[in-house]
Structure 1
Amino acid sequence: MAPQRFHEQFHHIQRSLPDVPLTMGPDDSAGLLYEKGVVLVRDGEEARFVEDAVRTHFTATAGLVPDHVRRMGPQAGRTGVTRIRVGDPAEGEDTVPHALRAVREAEGRRGRRLAGRNHVVHIAVNACPGDEPVPVARTGPANPAAAEGSYDPATAVGVLVVDTGLVHDHLSYPLLAHTSGDAQLTETDGDGVLHQYVGHGTFIAGILAAVAPNTDITVRGTLEDAGAVLESDFAGKLFEAVDRDGWPDIISLSAGAASEDTDGLIGLDAFMRELSAQRTLLVAAAGNNGSDIPFWPAAYAALPEYADTVLSVGALRTDGESEACFSNHGPWVRVHAPGERLTSALTGFTGPVPYVYQHSSYDSCRFGADYACTCQYPRHTGVLSEGRESTGAKPDQVMFDGLAQWSGTSFATPVAAGLVAARMTAYGERDPRTAGARLLAATTDRAQVRGAHVPALFPPTWRPVPVVVPALPA
């Protein structure tokens, strides 16, 4: 049976959030993942209105009981949202779609969306991985390689990475000498094997430091819990990060949630308003679902009020000429950058550590691409793969000794963030949003994405690799 990574990861995430009933839908391929039986609303008058509207609708609808409709209290902090229970999650049917239909007519009268799903926000390799890391010898070169330039604490650009924490030996990697932040909570299991996604934040920091040496990088382990958090809690965690460190020049965020809503995530309203009032530029990953369904907060880049605040980044394949097979796409993706098989630090250099693959490779690209993409190569069998038990296939294990190759819009994002920071240093620009706009305006590079020629950003030290097209069977 072909491995279905989204389904495999759904069960993995559910185990990491055992007290939160989750569900997928309505189209699994779109990557929608949310809390079952709960809608998210703004606290106050709108919450009371939605609660009454849903209860009235359920009373008039055969087969749906209004007894479970109740507010679950406002979230802590200043996020300004609350959850409303709209059904019993122990029952088989998910009542969220019914509840959302109940408020659609009222939304037309109010002039804005009043309720939405409580999505799971996840790092952009979590619910649908671009791939898993592949070992590279510690003597191998990084790609992108370290750019020329020196670190000056007086002029260094401040970059906040909101992700998983830093591995314990990250300072053994020379490029991370000016990186600080949270330590990864747990790196290995009882057998000394790396947990899934350990090193994700470290890998991102290594790319940033390579592209932009004159940066002060802070990595916050906001997404340690399998890289997943409920939308209702996400803004609070973002506020905690910026309150702790102050608003940086740039936030590099390789996380988000797929949603068919066209005006963003209700749970991020308060954070996005405060972000807009700052000078910080949010550089956000477009996601790895191979879809044009908006992935938030990256998709805020397409809303006029946030056009100068958010830079959304898709991933290019190894030759830089076209999109990577897994990359989300659409008019809401502002720019693309290399994001397939980049090389950076996964651990420090203090010794090898084993990793067991979680997902099996595919016989052909799961997104229909016709080149030797990361879906197919290298070949391996993973722990979570559906049908593995019936075949008796043993999961593959590798050893990491410093560097790795890894793919995803997660890693195209720090490439773009680093290029904005590098421009700020090169031109003495102090406003990151102006620097981002000028960087895009100055680029003449283009890539072909779904038949369109779109802006592309390439670090001078990035090495393109020709793609290989598999031979057709005889």
Structure 2
Amino acid sequence: MTRYRHRAGELLVHADDSAAIHAELAGFGYHPDGGAGPLCRFTGTRPVPEVLAALRGRAASPNHLFGLDRIIWAEPGLRPKPTTSELAPLPESDADPTVGVIDTGILLYQGEPHSYLGHRVVYDQEDTVRPERDEDGNPIGTAAHGTFVAGVVLKQVPPKVRVRMKGVVDKSDGAAEDLAVANAIDELREEGITLINLSFSGATWEDEPPKAIEAALRRLPADAVVVASAGNRSSRRRVYPAAIMLEDTPGRPRDSHARVIAVGAADPTKDPARPRVADFSNYGPWVSVYADGVDVLGPYFRPGYPTQPAGALPQYNGFAAWSGTSFSAAIVTGRIAARMAEDVSARAAADLVVRLPEAGREDSPVVQLWDVNGAQRVPYVQGRLIEPGVG
């Protein structure tokens, strides 16, 4: 049993390597079938791990599947909770989108997005989603995740900031494939968007970066920033795309590539002055920053849905309190977007938001961790709410 997830019968091969192994792949019954950028997809019927073992790791990679990592209705540990809190609808804007969010898409009810979002999210029809329901009529799967993430981003920003949604995460099981995410990144790049949120994660074959996503990130301009969630497995093990490091060769500056920020979840509920790593959050030296990730408030379905048992209080009121690194990433993305609204590039804005702890400063915004190397101070970003109409 492999610990990574992948699309059955699909392999990804860089165009430069395709000719060298084309015949060998054909011998396994795999043939070209589309792709993204320089990545070619080969499809066949033999099990992917079996083919990879025979190739001894040469050139080919699975078409990995990533997920929302326990952020589903059926997972009791991180299920969104009803709340009595609400958010006032956002003021409208006709500004060009600043932020790209690759997620499940925008949830529609009676043909309209959540009332909180108004017209602050730009989407195509293929970027919308409707919930799947169980026999009691309540949602199954992940349909509301994209709406919630977009809402958390927009809580952090002034009125002129808008979000561009790309819906590629499956609403039923929360799966997003390497190739589909890469295509969405390319489309956002072509639209001129330089700040992208990826609130999903997963393990990979041989712990290697996913081929298609990594290649798409390398096609982004050098001033672009990608914010990715670190996952919710309480593990030190790296997950992707958050753990991607865009370096070519030792000594080549990373400033030549887009910046990837891996975000873990912080829990400030016990001591706001000293937030700690949330119990569910992944952690480790590959995590760039921590942000609030426990009981984050955001838009969720509509008043009275999902249904609660009769007499249970509170009932769902169109909002929810949800925990996960998905929403920590959205907070960091939103704070960066707010800085970009001051006519600052995405990379410069990220440097202002994700500040390295200043030596000797006890009041620096950090999460402090301990490991075999001693204490480690990691930047901490606090979530906020910009009231409607406030610049």
Same fold (TM over 0.5): yes
State how far apart, in whole Å, the 2-side matches of 1:54 and 1:282 are.
33
Report the Cα distance in structure 1 between the residues aligned to 2:183 and 2:2, rounded to whole angstroms.
26
Q: Is the 8 A contact 2:290 2:380 kept in 1?
A: yes
Distance (whole Å) between structure 2 residues aligned to residue 313 and residue 48 of structure 1: 38
Measured at CA, do residues 25 and 73 of structure 1 come closer, stay the same or move farther in structure 2, by a change above 3 Å?
same
Which residue identity does 2:333 align to in structure 1?
Answer: A
Aligned to 1:41: 13
Q: Partner residue of 1:329?
A: 283
**Cα displacement (A) at 1:439:** 2.3
**2:91 and 2:131 mapped to 1: Cα distance?**
31
Give the corresponding residue for 2:316: 400
Change (3 A) 1:96 1:407: farther
User: Paired residue for 1:338, among 277, 286, 292?
Assistant: 292
Within 2, Cα distance between the matches of 1:79 and 1:326?
A: 37
- Are the counterparts in 2 of residues 252 and 414 from structure 1 also a CA contact under 8 Å? yes
Structure having the higher helix fraction is 1
Asked whether the equivalents of residues 35 and 41 of structure 2 are also in contact (C-alpha less than 8 Å), the reply is no
User: Distance between the aligned counterparts of 1:25 and 1:126, measured in 2?
Assistant: 22
Cross-structure match for 2:361: none
Identity of aligned residues (%): 25
Count of residues in correspondence between the two structures: 355
> Of 159, 181, 192, which residue of structure 1 is paired with 2:99?
159
> In the alignment, what sits opposite 1:218?
164
Secondary structure, counterpart of 1:235 in structure 2: helix
Deviations 1:353-410 (A, max 9, x none): 2269xxxxxxxxxxxxxxxxxxxxxxx9xxxxxxxxxxxxxxx9x9532111111111
Partner of 1:432: 346
Q: How many angstroms does 1:285 deviate by?
A: 1.0
Change in Cα spacing, 1:175 to 1:116, as seen in structure 2 (3 Å) is: closer
Structure 1 residues 244-283: aligned runs within 5 Å: 246-259=191-204, 261=206, 264-275=209-220, 277=221, 279-283=223-227
| Aligned residue among 343, 363, 369 for 1:449 | 369
Q: Which moved more, 1:125-134 or 1:247-256?
A: 125-134
Question: 2:260 — aligned with what?
Answer: 310
Correspondence for 1:194: 139
- Deviation, 1:216, is 0.9
Paired amino acid for 1:178: R
2:54 is the alignment partner of 1:99? yes
The verdict on how the C-alpha distance between 1:355 and 1:116 changes in structure 2, with shifts beyond 3 A counting, is farther
CA RMSD of aligned residues (A): 3.7
Structure 1 portions without partners, runs of 5+:
1-23, 27-31, 56-66, 108-113, 357-379, 381-395, 463-474
Amino acid at match of 2:344: R
For 2:114 and 2:46, locate their aligned partners in 1 and report how far apart those are by CA, in whole Å: 51
Larger Rg: 1
Where do 5+ consecutive residues of structure 2 fail to align? Answer: 248-252, 358-363, 387-391
CA distance in 2, matches of 1:433, 1:272: 14
Q: Judge conservation of contact 2:224–2:259 (CA < 8 Å) in 1.
A: yes
SS at match of 1:448: strand
1:267 deviates by 2.0
- Match of 1:441, SS state, is coil
1:281 partner amino acid: V
SS at the partner of 2:201?
strand
- 2:294 is paired with a residue whose SS is coil
The 8 Å contact of residues 74 and 80 in structure 1, kept in 2 or not, is answered as: no
Counterpart position of 1:120: 65
- Matching residue within 153, 175, 181 for 1:234: 181
Contact 1:302–1:332 at 8 Å: present in 2 too? no
| TM-score for both structures, normalised by structure 2 | 0.77
Distance in 1 between residues matched to 2:298 and 2:209, nearest whole Å: 32
Question: 1:3-152 maps to which residues of 2 (within 5 A)?
Answer: 24-26=1-3, 32-36=4-8, 39-44=11-16, 46-50=17-21, 69-83=28-42, 85=44, 87-88=46-47, 94-96=49-51, 98-99=53-54, 102-103=56-57, 114-125=59-70, 131-137=78-84, 140-141=85-86
Instruction: Give 1 or 2: higher strand fraction.
Output: 2
Give the aligned residue type for 1:446: V
Q: How does 1:409-424 map to 2 (within 5 A)?
A: 409-424=325-340
**2:209/2:241 contact within 8 Å kept:** yes
| Cα drift, residue 153 of structure 1 | 5.3
